[in-house]
Chain A
Amino acid sequence: MVVGRFGVLLPALAIAGGLAAKKRVPEGPGSFPTTGMLWISLLASVILIVGGLTFLPSLALGPIADHLQLFAH
């Protein structure tokens, strides 16, 4: 449980620290716009795919299997 909590927490803090230490890059005409639909769909699909890949095995054996079995009976 300790690992489950802090093993995730500490790397996330390290990433935040690393980002804070980076120098700022001014927005220019070459920057990628982070306000349009493209950005929203990109961010959403990355979260869905990477999250899905991480949890799908557990989900398939837990809730999904449960659901399918209920229907089978």
Chain B
Amino acid sequence: MSQAQSLFTRELMLPALRDAVIKLSPRVLIRNPVMFVTALVAALSSMILLEGLARAAPDLGFQAQLVFWLWLTVLFGNFAEALAEGRGKAQAASLRATKADLTARLADGRMVSAATLKVGEVVLVETGELIPADGEVVEGCASVNEAAITGESAPVIREGGGDRSAVTAGTRVIADWIRVRVTAAAGEGFLDRMIALVEGAERQKTPNEVALTILLTGLTLIFLVAVGTLPAFAAYAHGMLAVPVLVALFVTLIPTTISALLSAIGIAGMDRLVRFNVLAKSGRAVEAAGDIDVLLLDKTGTITIGDRQASDFLTLPGVTREALIDAARLASMADETPEGRSIVALAGAGAPLPVGAEEIRFTSQTRVSGVLIGDRALVKGAVDAVLRRLGDSVEPAAANALREQADRIARAGGTPLAVADGARLLGVIYLKDVVKAGIRERFAELRTMGIRTVMITGDNPLTAASIAAESGVDDFLAEATPEDKLALIRAEQQGGRLVAMCGDGTNDAPALAQSDVGVAMNTGTQAAREAGNMVDLDSDPTKLIEIVGLGKQLLMTRGALTTFSIANDVAKYFAILPAIFVVLYPALAVLNVMHLASPQSAILSAIIFNALIIPALVPLALKGVRYRPAPAGELLARNLAIYGLGGLIAPFIGIKAIDLVVAGLHLA
């Protein structure tokens, strides 16, 4: 329940209540046609009530209650939207705090306010200073604390040239200095856009929302006609229908529930992404994520851990396995790289390095590393590098056997590392790209959701195929260049499929821009961040999988509440129709299946239920329906059972309960 409580804290509720009243302005309401119509008929009923007051008509108490609940329906709708926006605003406020009063040092040493910086100007940022504007590092290298935007307190390296050159306004240089060329003027930077996004200021209706709004408006029109024809029927039966009663019927029938919650659902969807440290540049991108057919995933960092790990020792003829393992372990003891540590771990326990052992450091010239114990040199390294080091002293037969083994490992997708003790070749260490734990299950999950995964790698096709088989991806693209990636995305899109990918480098930018959902890593270049339609502040490429889930959850929440809203109408008919017409045709009383106390209490109960269901569903709209990966049919069947069937039954119970209270309090 802690989540439900956090939705309704006092700090969020009070401004939301105030905003709900402010949003009664027709200019705001017109954006939501159904709620606008509701407000119009509420205004109409208010005028009729005032006119009735003026001539002291009877039955005003009932009319006044109807008018009260009609306005409350509109206010509840506004409140739902205001509450969703309020949660974003609370986040924006903490962002804005980091933006206050930034100053910049220009190339000539002058200090100016960040607000006056222009695109293309170069500023110097030194230790302890805040970076005044978004830009690209042109010179220098510094560690930068980006906690202000990512919440991650470990500093990151930012340097000129390469894929880590983008810096963000409001982040702090904690060591060294950089020169930054400004790429965004004040008010247009990353942080500004982020604030605008979480506040919902830039919110535009997404295609899906537009389509749903058209459907709901169409339904409203149908119900307008259906209710509009009733006075003619009443006239035939020599009766009269009061306008407030028709208004009540009309408002309960039009899909007020989903219309009131529609924008709240959208805002909450964006908000869930922001909480997940992913920034979507538009709601459209979030929706597209829910409809993705193909996921392009980079091998390194997403599918494999990224560091190669030792997985086996292969001896040459005439060498014992123990001798190889012992030599490999000793040669790797001083090696602090992940590869070296993995060799020691695989070799298991053994004697420590003897005192006086000297480390042979890896250099880019020798390309071998190891230890020197006395005059015994234990080395490991790439096969050709080790052979070159040993030179002519090596036996030709052993060298050939070594090459053969190395080839076999390479074909299987691994990296061979030769080990030598003095002039004697011992064998090879089989280094392997380690597939992340659990990734196979994730891909199986995606497959049940109907999403195809394609692994992108620069490796040769053999290595790629072996890793693809091990990780369980559906397909792979080996020796991939950025152009290949772009071509693959275009080909999939030609076939009508939606493609998602993530990337960080400048050469990823065209593919990021072409894909339907392009997630740029925050550590990437400015070009990549501009090209993608989402930015992952944690720079974790695995998140793509969760982003798809969040997108699906958003679409499902919207669908579930629409179904619920329309299914509700059935019960409302059974409440209101007999109530209205029982005067004209007493036999219609049999349609009063809920046995509501009186016609007036039936109408009032229906309109009260219609209003109260909105705040009751706000937590669901903001949190989203429960989502777990499953095939489309299974998910639909489950949600139809809950929200369709539930939507049919719930109002029968709800209206009956409210009727008992209304009748008990003698309200009608």
Contact = CB atoms under 8 A, between A and B. Distances in A.
A binds B: yes
Interface of A: 23-26, 28-33, 36, 38, 42, 45, 49-50, 52-58, 60-62, 64-65, 68-69, 71-72
Nearest to B448: A29
A65 B189 CA distance: 67
Contacts, number: 94
Interface string B564-602: 001101100100010001001111101100000000000
A58 B451 contact: no
Interface stretch (B110-118, B226-234, B371-379): B226-234
B229 A58 contact: yes
Given A29-B447, A49-B570, A68-B587, A61 B233 contact: yes
A50 B633 CA distance: 22
Contact of A28 (B497, B577, B636): B497
8 contacts: A24-B496, A26-B496, A30-B632, A49-B566, A53-B222, A53-B226, A53-B566, A61-B230
> What is the predominant secondary structure among interface residues of chain A facing chain B?
helix
A60 B581 contact: yes
B664 interface: no
B617 interface: no
Interface residues of B, number: 41
A11 to B, nearest CB: 8
A25 B450 CA distance: 14
B223 interface: yes
B577 A56 contact: yes
Contact of A57 (B230, B633, B636, B644): B230
In the complex, the 8 A-B pairs of residues with the closest C-beta atoms, listed nearest first: A30-B450, A68-B587, A61-B233, A29-B450, A65-B585, A32-B632, A72-B587, A25-B496
A53 B588 contact: no
A58 B230 CA distance: 7
A31 B230 CA distance: 42
A53 B585 contact: no
B123 interface: no
A36 B586 CA distance: 44
A65 B450 contact: no
B226 A57 contact: yes
B585 A61 contact: yes
Contacts of B496: 23-26
B555 to A, nearest CB: 12
Given A49-B570, A68-B585, A69-B585, A31 B632 contact: yes
B500 to A, nearest CB: 13
Given A56-B577, A61-B233, A61-B585, 4 more contacts: A28-B293, A33-B632, A50-B566, A61-B584
A56 B575 CA distance: 13
B250 to A, nearest CB: 11
Interface in B408-462: 447, 449-452
A14 to B, nearest CB: 11
Nearest to B495: A26
A29 B449 CA distance: 8
B233 A58 contact: yes
Contacts of A49: 566-567, 569-570
Nearest to B570: A49
A8 B76 CA distance: 34
Nearest to A37: B637
Contact of B450 (A28, A62, A64): A28
A54 B222 contact: yes
Interface string B304-344: 00000000000000000000000000000000000000000
B640 interface: yes
A31 B223 contact: no
B47 interface: no
B632 to A, nearest CB: 4
Contacts of A72: 586-587
A41 B571 CA distance: 20
Contacts of B227: 57
Contacts of B237: 61
B253 interface: yes
A24 B496 CA distance: 7
Given A29-B450, A30-B449, A52-B570, A60 B588 contact: yes
Contacts of B577: 56-57, 60
Contacts of A69: 585, 587
Contacts of A31: 450, 632
Contact of A30 (B233, B293, B566, B591): B293
Contacts of B229: 57-58
A30 B450 CA distance: 3
Contacts of B219: 50
Nearest to B576: A57
A58 B591 contact: no
A64 B588 contact: yes
Nearest to A42: B640
